[in-house]
Amino acid sequence: MRGYQAIKYILFFCCYIFWVASAVLIAVGIYAKIAKEKDAVDTLMTDPALLLIVVGSLMLSITFFGCCGALRNATVPLKLFSGILLVIFLIQITAGVLGFLYSDLVLERTEQLMRKAIVRYREDLDLENLIDFIQKKFQCCGVHSYTDWHANVYFQCEESNPSLEACGVPFSCCRRNSNETVFNTMCGYKTQSMKEMKAVHDIFIIGCLDKIVRWGKNNLFLAGGITVGLLCLELCMICLASVLLSCIRKTLKKKKLLNLRNSWRQMTR
């Protein structure tokens, strides 16, 4: 009985932590959507706010079933919780295996998404901030090279382009001096028209895809450890839900047997 109660409350605590985290994700996503420009074009893959809301809503629904089932000893929510979590677990395993086997295809698809993101830069504030963060964090510029910013209408390197940023790159591509107090946001002015040997003094010329792939290879054990840890946690929650379901079924069977015995005794008196 004590073991049953321990499993029940461990499962409820795990689900509750994820439930709170999902609520925070939804709140942040909604706040970002409200604060964003109303005429922005949103897509799931390139809009971080929309992605936060979708992921948060999915987590909230799944963990609600887990919390409700564990707290109320309800078999239906627990079955839904363990079933959905098992499907997600299998999808993650399958995606990992396919990603490893078809790594070239994954890189190609990632490159396409990054190029689309460059085209939509300045159309979506969240996307713009995300790209700037990545370029500053990894000290990179563009997908493969700083000249990839030619695809954006604001930075397009053509004489007919009326933009003040024509032939330039975003400020997040620029190198910053340690003693710099006031940052020049036009530091990438006309850098696309420069040769690499000259541009490298002002901006980062290596693309972000190459830097991210290199970072992934250097931190392979860290990324793998986090992934395996999350998968183990999901598997643990599935096992806890299954054990709790088994305990609930046994308890219900015992109650039914006791009721049948009591009914039989009353009938035989």
CATH label of the domain that carries residue 180: 1.10.1450
* DSSP code per residue over 213-257: HHHHHHTHHHHHHHHHHHHHHHHHHHHHHHHHHHHHHHHHHHHHH
Q: What is the pLDDT of residue 169?
A: 92
137 in the same domain as 73: no
**Domain contains 111:** no
**Domain contains 106:** no
62 in the same domain as 6: yes
Q: What is the pLDDT of residue 162?
A: 87
How many Å apart are CA 170 and CA 150, to the nearest integer? 11
**Domain contains 114:** no
Q: Which residues contact 2 (CB under 8 A, 6 or more apart)?
A: none
71 in the same domain as 20: yes
Q: In this structure, what DSSP letter does residue 13 have?
A: H
Residue pair 44/116 in contact by the 8 Å Cβ criterion: no
Environment class of residue 174 by beta-carbon count within 10 Å: exposed (0-12), middle (13-18) or buried (19+)? Answer: buried
How many Å apart are CA 93 and CA 101, to the nearest integer? 12
pTM more than 0.85: no
130 in the same domain as 91: no
Closest by CA to 147, choosing from 205, 214, 74, 87, is 205
pLDDT, one tens digit for every residue, the chain (269 residues) = 566 778 888 888 888 888 888 889 888 888 877 776 554 445 555 567 788 888 889 888 888 888 888 888 888 888 999 999 999 999 989 988 888 888 888 889 999 989 999 998 988 777 888 899 999 999 999 999 999 999 999 999 888 888 888 899 999 999 887 776 666 777 888 888 888 888 888 899 999 998 998 888 888 888 788 888 888 888 998 898 888 888 888 877 777 777 777 777 766 66
* Rg, Å, the chain Cα set: 27
**Domain contains 224:** no
Residue pair 120/42 in contact by the 8 Å Cβ criterion: no
252 in the same domain as 211: no
The whole domain housing 7 covers 1-101+229-269
